[in-house]
C-alpha cells in the first residue's frame, strides 16, 4: 500500500500525537493508539513505527512508502493471538521481504478490540515514523486496505468464544514457539490461522 508523505504537518502536529509517542516510547517496532495528528483531522487510530537506527531517518525523506500488512489470528495451545506483520517489498527469491516486523495483540483485551474496531472503519491510516529520543521524524498517509476489519472480526469472535484462564504472556510465548514469522506471512499454517491483508 503506497503511503504519501505528509510530513509538512510535523511542525504543526497536535500535542496528542506527542503524548501517544511518549506513552509508547519504550517500543521497538509498531504500536497502535488513538490520537489526533492535527486539529483539522481529529482523533483516529494511528500507527507509530519506532526504530532507534538510521533506517527511519532515510524513510522519512521519501515521498512515498510501500508499507504492507499481513494480519490475522493464530491459535495456540494456550489461546489465541492476534498479529500484524508489517513488511516492505521487494521480496527475495526465498520469499523474504526487505523489511518484516511482527506486532502481536491480545485479542481478549477490550481496549485492543475497540482500537481494532475503530481502525477497521477508517478510510485511511496515518503512520508516524519515530526515531530515538523519541523524536517524530515524519508522517505518511495510507488509504485503508490492510484487512484490519477482518482482523477485528477474528479477534471479536475469539473474545466472544472465550478462553478460561487465558494468560496473554503464556499465549504469546506459545505463539513464538509454534509459529515462524516468515511462514505466517506466506500463510503456511492454514489449519491454525485466519488471515487477511497483503501476502507477498
**pLDDT tens figures, 74-104:** 999 999 999 999 999 999 999 999 999 999 9
**Stretch 116-125: mean pLDDT, rounded?**
94
CB-facing half-sphere around the CA of 20: CA atoms within 13 A: 26
**The model's pTM:** 0.94
Q: Which of 5-19, 26-40, 48-62, 129-143 has the lowest mean pLDDT?
A: 5-19
Instruction: Check whether 12 has a pLDDT greater than 90.
Output: no
Instruction: Check whether 148 has a pLDDT greater than 80.
Output: yes
Amino acid at each position: 500500500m503506497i503511503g504519501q508523505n505528509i510530513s509538512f504537518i510535523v511542525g504543526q502536529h497536535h500535542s496528542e500525537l506527542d503524548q501517544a509517542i511518549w506513552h509508547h516510547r519504550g517500543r521497538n517496532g509498531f504500536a497502535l493508539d488513538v490520537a489526533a495528528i492535527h486539529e483539522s483531522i481529529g482523533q483516529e487510530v494511528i500507527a507509530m513505527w519506532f526504530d532507534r537506527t538510521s533506517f527511519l531517518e532515510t524513510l522519512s525523506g521519501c515521498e512515498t512508502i510501500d508499507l504492507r500488512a499481513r494480519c490475522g489470528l493464530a491459535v495456540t495451545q494456550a489461546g489465541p493471538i492476534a498479529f500484524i506483520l508489517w513488511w516492505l517489498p521487494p521480496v527475495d527469491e526465498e520469499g523474504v521481504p526487505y523489511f518484516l516486523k511482527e506486532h502481536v495483540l491480545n485479542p481478549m483485551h477490550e481496549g485492543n478490540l475497540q482500537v481494532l474496531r475503530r481502525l477497521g472503519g477508517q478510510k485511511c491510516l496515518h503512520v508516524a515514523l519515530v526515531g530515538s529520543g523519541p523524536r517524530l521524524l515524519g508522517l505518511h498517509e495510507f488509504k485503508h486496505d490492510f484487512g484490519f476489519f477482518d482482523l477485528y472480526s477474528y479477534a471479536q469472535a475469539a473474545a466472544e468464544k472465550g478462553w478460561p484462564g487465558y494468560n496473554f504472556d503464556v499465549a504469546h510465548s506459545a505463539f513464538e514457539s509454534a509459529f515462524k514469522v516468515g511462514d505466517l506471512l506466506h500463510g503456511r499454517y492454514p489449519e491454525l490461522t485466519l488471515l487477511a491483508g497483503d501476502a507477498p
